[in-house]
A = this chain, B = another copy of it.
Amino acid sequence: MTPAEKRNRLRAILKGDVCKSPATVWDALSARVAEAAGFDCGILSGSVCSATVLGAPDLALQTLTEFADQIRRITRASGLSVFADADQGYGNALNAMRTVEELEHAGLAGLAIEDLVMPAQFGRHREPELNSVQEAVGKLEAALSARQDASLVIAARTAALRIEPIARVVERTRAYAATGVDALFVTGLGKVDDLDAIRSAVDIPIMLGSAPAIPRAEAQARGVRFRLQGHAVLAVCAKAMHDTYMHLKADGDAEDLKSKMATAEEMARLMRVVDYQTWDDAYLN
């Protein structure tokens, strides 16, 4: 599957009638498992990249090129249409242009640029801060102009719901939509009313961050076509690892782990062993 095909599959979802969810993925193995479980789309967020590459919280500590490397590993290993939360575009509008260039080159299907000031400014005492509308619009326009493949999805992501009154948020989203972005990505949504307000102002497809209070059907009825389910899988892996390490530390029997392990056949399928054997037979003998 070419990058353009992966991008067009994501575009078809955005233009369709159904609200789909991507799998949270972060390396080649998670991408392969997500694909095996039937997912078409994957997402790499800044927080998950930071946790797995750096072991650090979500504080804009990873670099654009580290992030792009992880995207490349995921797109190389799988046919997933990968969407990335590209934070604030890794700097100002010029950095946002480079962000689009790097991530497009890494084979991404789509990305969101957020209106949050990142990394945190001096003296904010962990209070989040938004870019001015004008600055955010400048970044989105810059990102759009940097796109080489017109099929790459670019979304405007707003963190405003947690920071500003809804009227201001609506204003923002209207300005963002006017730049020509392909979708609006909303985080921190707590009630359907807010979604209604936004929906009445913009008619581009909506993407939703984790929003446990909003049932999928209600979101779908209001134009949401892509919706995150949180990154629970990472905490599941952390617990599974911990339990296994504790068992092995106590020199527990490996047999006892069997029921918790993917079988050798499943691992071989995930690693595409049959393909390599075919190539080995054809070209190496």
Contacts of A236 in B (CB 8 A): 240-241, 243-244, 257, 260-262
Q: A238-B33, A262-B238 are in contact. Are A59 and B276 (CB under 8 A)?
A: yes
Name the interface size band of chain A.
35 or more
A8: interface (CB < 8 Å): no
- Residues of A175-228 at the interface with B, using a CB-CB cut-off of 8 Å, are 212, 216
Encode A81-98 as 1/0 by CB contact (under 8 A) with B.
000000000111111111
Say whether chain A's binding surface is mostly helix, strand, loop, or mixed: helix
A130–B22 CA distance with the chains assembled, in angstroms: 42
**What's the number of copies of this chain in the assembled complex?**
4
- CB closest residue in chain B, given A33: B241
Establish whether residues A270 and B55, one from each chain, have CB atoms under 8 Å apart when the complex forms.
yes
A9-17, A62-70, A153-161, A162-170: which lies at the interface: A62-70
Establish whether residues A55 and B39, one from each chain, have CB atoms under 8 Å apart when the complex forms.
no
Contacts of A90 in B (CB 8 A): 63
Establish whether residues B94 and A283, one from each chain, have CB atoms under 8 Å apart when the complex forms.
yes
Q: List 8 A-B contacts (CB under 8 A).
A: A38-B245, A63-B63, A92-B284, A94-B120, A94-B283, A123-B285, A232-B257, A238-B266
